[in-house]
Amino acid sequence: MELTKKYIDFMLENVIGSNIRVQLPNPQEDGKLFWTKLGPTVYMNVELEVIEKYTRSVIFKLKFDRYEVEKIIFIPIESSPMSIKEKLHNTIENLVSKTFISDGRQEEMRQMYEEKRKTMFSKLEKMVGKIKEVEDNKSNKIIE
């Protein structure tokens, strides 16, 4: 077996794996897309199935939500494993976003973010309520 084929096999088995989790962007009313850095974030699990391996690329079948997309992805053997994984992650994240948007699911994406926001803030309210109860029990001492 050639060294490059061994490297591709190594990358697929040990670095890339068979599943990746990507963030969906938060579409705004004006058509712009925002990727959240802090706060509620919507993620999508993407299953990676190898269809065919070549010397420096792989054809993947990407399965997410209700979609199955085949995509050939270049794997530069001169790059570090983590650099390859990061580039693959960015490529898949962009593909998932474009698939959702081209299917006209921006409103559904907004709803997913709204549900995450409500869930996050309701949990924060419960936490703050518990902290206030503890403060009251400790004769108005502030807890940091």
| pTM of the model as a whole | 0.77
Residue 8 pLDDT: 85
Domain positions in the chain: 3-137
pLDDT of residue 132: 60
Question: Which residue reads 């650099």 in tokens?
Answer: 83
Could you list the pLDDT tens digit for every one of the 144 residues in the chain?
577 778 888 888 888 989 999 999 998 888 888 888 888 899 999 999 999 998 889 999 999 999 999 999 998 888 889 999 999 999 999 999 999 999 999 999 999 999 988 888 787 777 776 666 555 555 555 544
Q: Which residue's structure tokens are 């040990």?
A: 14
pLDDT at 130: 64
Torsion of CA 69, 71, 75, 81, to 10 degrees: -10
